Structure formats: structure tokens, C-alpha cells
């Protein structure tokens, strides 16, 4: 499969402009993604199976759900040195 064919397949499958698909392929090649695989293998076995499609509604819902668990997320533990920089007045909530 040629670069043009791979680019066209990405554009068609993801519903993106050819120019964006070309950038994806160029960056994959520049980043060494295709050194152990043929371009077709990279497309079918690595790239397409790992694509996640999130529409605006799905993204919005994900953000809302993330905010719902924020109060239960682990707080970072600051070390002694960091605590001293703040005058020892660090309180974890």
C-alpha cells in the first residue's frame, strides 16, 4: 500500500481532510512508527485499532464526569522541602 493510499484510507475512515491525514502519516514515519512494520501493517495493526472517536457530546459528558470525581481524587503529598518553602503551613484537605 502506498503512502497516498494509506493517507486516503485514514482520511476516509476518520472523516478528516487529506492534508491532516498526510500530516499523520508523515509524523508516523518521522517518529519511527513504521520501522518495524510496513506502512499498511502500521495502519491496520497499530493506528486504526488505537483510534478513539469522541464527538462533542461525548467529550462534554467526559468532562462533566471528571468534575464529579474531583473531590475524591488523591491529593498530592508535598515533601518536607516544599512544605518549608511555604513556611510549614501546608494543610492537606
Is the pLDDT at 72 greater than 90? The verdict is no
**Is the full-model pTM beyond 0.85?**
no
Is the pLDDT at 9 greater than 70? The verdict is yes
CB atoms within 10 A of CB 1: 14
Angle, vertex CA 92, rays to CA 87 and CA 90, nearest 5? 0
Is the pLDDT at 25 greater than 60? The verdict is yes
DSSP 8-state code for residue 90:
-
Query: How confident is the model over 30-58, as pLDDT tens digits?
Result: 999 888 889 999 999 999 999 988 899 99
> How high is the pLDDT of residue 36?
84
Please provide the average confidence, as pLDDT, over all residues in the chain: 85
Amino acid at each position: 500500500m502506498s503512502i497516498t493510499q494509506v493517507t486516503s484510507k485514514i482520511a476516509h475512515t476518520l472523516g478528516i481532510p487529506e492534508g491532516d491525514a498526510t500530516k499523520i502519516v508523515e509524523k508516523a514515519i518521522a517518529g519511527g512508527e513504521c520501522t518495524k512494520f510496513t506502512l499498511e501493517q502500521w495502519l491496520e495493526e497499530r493506528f486504526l485499532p488505537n483510534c478513539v472517536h469522541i464527538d462533542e457530546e461525548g467529550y462534554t459528558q467526559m468532562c462533566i464526569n471528571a468534575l464529579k470525581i474531583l473531590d475524591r481524587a488523591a491529593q498530592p503529598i508535598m515533601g518536607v522541602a516544599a512544605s518549608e518553602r511555604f513556611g510549614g503551613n501546608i494543610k492537606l484537605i
